[in-house]
Amino acid sequence: MRPVTIYVTTYCPYCVRAKDILKKHAVPYHEVDVSGDGDRRRWLVENTGQRTVPQIFFGEQSIGGCNDLEAIVKAGKLQALLA
């Protein structure tokens, strides 16, 4: 299984929702809090083109945010993307 990393802030309801989805599907993840971390936030923008959180990576692949994760799950593609 590819490692999952989720970049979050402490005040983001979409981050909570994305973590809940991962937990519901028994997907272990590493959480990185970028609250107040300007360098890490700049890195995310450079690597994803997005300024919002959560930003979720399966291995080195950015899959997007909470809505993107929900769409992957709804399409039945979660396990395939993790393999």
Q: Where are the domains of the chain?
A: 4-82
Residue 12 in this model has a pLDDT that exceeds 90 = yes
Domain 4-82: CATH superfamily, name plus number: Glutaredoxin (3.40.30.10)
How, if at all, do strands 4-8 and 55-58 pair?
antiparallel
pTM, to two decimals: 0.94
Note the pLDDT tens digit of each residue in 16-68.
Answer: 999 999 999 999 999 999 999 999 999 999 999 999 999 999 999 999 999 99
The DSSP-derived string for 38-69 is: HHHHHHHHHHHS--SS-EEEETTEEEESHHHH
